[in-house]
Amino acid sequence: MQVLIDFCDPHGGGSTLRCAFDAPLQTLVAQTLAEVKPLLDQVSALSQQGFWCVGYLRYEAAPAFDAALAVHQADGPLAWFGVYPQALPWPDETSAQETTQVSWRNTLSRADFEAHMAHIHQAIAAGEFYQVNYTAPLTGEFTGSPLELFSRLQRAQPQGYAAYFDTGLEQLLSVSPELFFDWQPGADRHSGQILTRPMKGTAPRGNSPAEDAALAQAMQASPKERAENVMIVDLLRNDLSRIAEPFSVKVPELFKVQTLPTVFQMVSDVTAHTRPGIRLTDVFTALFPCGSITGAPKVQAMRTLQTLEPEPRGVYCGTIGVVRPGGHATFNVAIRTVTLRGPAARCGIGSGITFDASAAAEWQEWQHKRAFLDRASTGFELLETLRLERGEFINLIAHLARLKRAARHFGYVFDENSIQAALQALRAEVDTDHNVWRVRLLLAANGQVQAEKFIHNQLLAPVLIAQAATPFEATKSEFTRFKTTRRAHYEAFAPTNPEVFDTLLYNVQGELTECTRGNIALKLDGQWLTPALHCGLLDGVGREMALQQGRLREAVIRLEDLPRVQAVAFVNSLRGWVQARLITPITS
């Protein structure tokens, strides 16, 4: 029954809790609602005796604390805790298993989603509640190593409240970025300290630092996002008041932006001094489930959720946490949480719905939130394609800088000495006086480097580039912003006609972006232009060099501008500047 806990310090210090637990002295399991509170009392007593207690509560445990909270029948234990004499060091990383993968699919159709959104809007208009956190599960088929999948999920969603549980019945892989509560009970007759940090408000990451800053600022200033956040802050303030010293509930941080690899999230801090004598059971009675994943008012929101969501949520939207010796308790809100049972995988996705929320925007938000799953679903390597000519790697500094940015983004190990050694070893194998070589430089998550060489064949210019027949919808993907071996979204647009060299892509707004294997340059009104990064494209090294030399200028170029194009060039670091001719879409 292996358990891993990797919790950041909720107070921003350096006391990260990153440890393992194995072979529990005993396991505490609640199968019925009547057993939940006594189990938490056992956890409290055992922690006071010097034991570590690590476990979870399913969302369906809610009626144990308030019978008015409506849920479905649970599909597993309502609560589970392992009791351990000590915390062990984090285990050594195992080698990556490339066979580990999950193929995810929606269980909710777009039509049903929109119908449920309409129902929620009607209920809000009727005054039943003012926000509800609607969710639906993604299901998938899993193969490989649960620990490898957990490692990938952590890289996709780092610096949160991550936990891995193998209880025998199931494996729980949680990489939640949301703190439920951090509570340090008071000794004897002293007050305790509690911090909650509800997360409400989401925006996608941009295609450039400037767009990132604009998106984060727009989310923080959005009346809708702020209203959604403050509704839950008010709910948490009310919940905390049930266990707090009079006048001690405070909101020291409001509308703070938290930056994650695939999204921005808005969080607020709500704190209080808990009254002397408050027990862990009292904290859960006041707070569980967290209002950020129910809505407000909580009772009516959960009644509506029970009618709209046909299945139990399980540990998703429940909580996972640890009670240290002495009673210090830290629990997450179990979002971004995958449950594995044999080959069956499950992960919920949801969002807070208010009166001014639109179905289209919320659906898109769900796609942004699942990006961490898409990243972790299969393994991939970071990729750079270099030109090796007469013993020299062309634009090597720029390539390594881009590779380093990608490694930082994806959480991959980047050791420049190892990379340089692999490149020099490859260069020693080739005849530096003849031939131009195409070199594929691959970087794995653990920092392993592989360099491959191929004889480079020159092109006969001009090459033919066909305009795509449909929009390229992956412009907001991190696998478009960064170069990796995951290229299915590009390969879907690769030309099938052997006479065509590449395809010119454009986004759903009708803005040109790039080709599938390089960037594009177009001469308009006497100036050479290339699409701006915020349109959704890779920052190619050849493009970067041309911009630095003043040969190119960034601009937004639209489909309707194409009739005015005076000349076209394909641009990348491998091939340089290649004269091209643009033609209408070819489908055969």
Residues carrying an active site annotation: 178, 200
User: 3-class SS at 434?
Assistant: coil
Across the strands, what pairs with 137?
Answer: 348
Alpha-carbon distance 490 to 496, whole Å? 13
Strands (E), 284-391: 295-296, 319-323, 329-333, 337-341, 344-353, 382-389
CA-nearest of 95, 30, 106 to 62 is 30
DSSP-derived secondary structure letter, 70:
-
CB of 529 within 8 A of CB of 567? no
CA-nearest of 80, 34, 30, 88 to 56 is 80
Which tokens in the block code for residue 477? Answer: 């993907």
Burial class (CB in 10 A: 0-12, 13-18, 19+), 192: buried
CB of 524 within 8 A of CB of 564? yes
Which tokens in the block code for residue 194? Answer: 């509690």
Alpha-carbon distance 291 to 355, whole Å? 17
Buried b (16+ CB within 10 A) or exposed e, 399-416: bbebbbebbebbbbebee
Cis peptide before 289 (omega within 30 of 0): yes
Alpha-carbon distance 250 to 266, whole Å? 18
Across the strands, what pairs with 195?
Answer: 182, 271
Alpha-carbon distance 538 to 549, whole Å? 19
CB of 578 within 8 A of CB of 569? yes
Residue 550 has, within 13 A of its CA and on its CB side, a CA count of 0
Q: Residue 37: which H helix or E strand, with range?
A: helix 36-48
Alpha-carbon distance 281 to 242, whole Å? 13
Tally Cβ neighbours within 10 Å of residue 311. Answer: 13
Across the strands, what pairs with 466?
Answer: 503, 583
